[in-house]
Structure 1
Amino acid sequence: MEIHEAIEKRHSVRSYLDKSIPADIISQLNHEITECNRESGLHIQLVTGEPEAFSGFMAHYGKFSGVRNYIALIGRKTADLDEKIGYYGERIAIKAQQLGLNTCWVAMTFSKKKSRCIVNKGEKLVCVLSLGYGKTQGIAHKSKPMEQLCAVSGKMPEWFRKGMESVMLAPTAMNQQKFLFSLNAENVTVKSTGGFYSKVDLGIVQYHFEVGSGRKIFGTAFHKNI
């Protein structure tokens, strides 16, 4: 599945079939995780065949069922940790979609204590991605109009519009979409407008913007107002 198609088709899925992920799919996903960790310095881990993290009341409250696999999004406690987790976590989520799997971002409704992952001293488990073969493919979330999510000085270039179209498909905490992209000449900035897990959301939407626009904005080439 091509990456733009994967972004269009990926929706949050909370209920999963009792179906194991084949070894070749796990290998490809682990390769992507290794590359993300190498680039970012994060400590992201794939956990398979482990139902305990989603066996308690909070998972039931969050309407999760059948979750036996997840991706633990972990990194050193730095000022940009949440943003990096959002960017690279979404990159992995889209890769999973390309491999025929379904995912959901999970921040609160799972048990960190029961999670079977390694969190070293100085690190933090920010959130996880539930993973597996969904009972459904999920449904598209509603989006705010593009003009509420960005501000452009002058005529909007086509590359920026495509970037924003991809951003509108991005998952955010409670579907809050509390961010604003701005374009002044060729300079793109983005800022949070508040809300839960807003820095994670910033990382997610930056990844989507890059895929849609074809322009690298995350990291040193990206000027942020946060």
Structure 2
Amino acid sequence: MNMLEAMQTRHSVRQYTDQAIEPEKRQMLEQLIQDINGEAGLHIQIFFDEPDCFNSMLAHYGKFSNVKNYICLVGKQSDALEETLGYYGEKIVLQAQMMGLRTCWVAMTHGKSKADIRKNEKQVCLLSLGYGETDGVAHQNKPLERVCKNSENAPEWFLNGVNAALLAPTAMNQQKFCFTWQDDGTVKLSRGMGFYSKTDLGIVKYHFELGSGRKLP
């Protein structure tokens, strides 16, 4: 499985089996997070065999069960933090999918995490992690024309990127983003208002770059 296939097959999963994550996969995830933290100046942390965070009323309300592994998306507070964590968090999500693991972005429906949150840092959200009871269900997407402008003049790589972005998870499946193909050959990505829309923007940006093969500023 490659990253594009991971995008197509990855869906949110909230119920997990008792199967432990193997040592080699733990090591791969820990190395990935270490590399991301070094590259982006983040403080993302992963916890294995730790059931307390999701043993709460909020987690049960969110229909989570048997969550024993999770990732805390943490970094220094800044205007760009939420988007940055969305971008790199989705990179972790898709790598986990390629390992046969399942995930879910979690905003408020969890208890207290074990994260070490230092001065001037913020925990934006979590990722639940493990072997899913199911592979999840695909979300319903908006039509392409609802999330992009000037597409009739755009090249194929732009449309490939937008279609990949439509596969991205967003808060409550809002898909409040818009890509614009501009006359000078550049791409503009904007977001609407809503809960966690900045985080969603980072997730969507990562998907677009994978689908299009082009980097966004």
Q: TM-score range by the shorter chain?
A: over 0.9
- 1:64-213 to 2 correspondence within 5 Å? 64-111=64-111, 114-152=112-150, 154-184=152-182, 185-213=184-212
Counterpart amino acid of 1:84?
A: T
Three-state SS of the structure 2 residue aligned to 1:66 is coil
Counterpart amino acid of 1:116?
A: K
Deviation readout 1:2-53 (Å, 9 max, x if unpaired):
1111110100000000111000001111111111111110100110000111
Identical pairs, percent: 53
Counterpart amino acid of 2:212?
A: S
Counterpart amino acid of 1:44?
A: I
What is the aligned length?
216
What residue in structure 1 maps to residue 7 of structure 2? 7
Deviation readout 1:77-123 (Å, 9 max, x if unpaired):
11100000100000000010011100000001001xx3112111110
Q: TM-score, normalised by structure 2?
A: 0.98
- Measured after TM superposition, the shift of residue 153 of structure 1 is 6.2
What root-mean-square deviation, in Å, do the aligned CA atoms of Structure 1 and Structure 2 show? 0.9
Q: TM-score, normalised by structure 1?
A: 0.94
Deviation readout 1:145-193 (Å, 9 max, x if unpaired):
0000011265221100110110010000000001111111321111111
Counterpart amino acid of 1:21?
A: I
Three-state SS of the structure 2 residue aligned to 1:71 is strand
Q: Distance in 1 between matches of 2:26 and 2:163?
A: 30
Three-state SS of the structure 2 residue aligned to 1:195 is coil
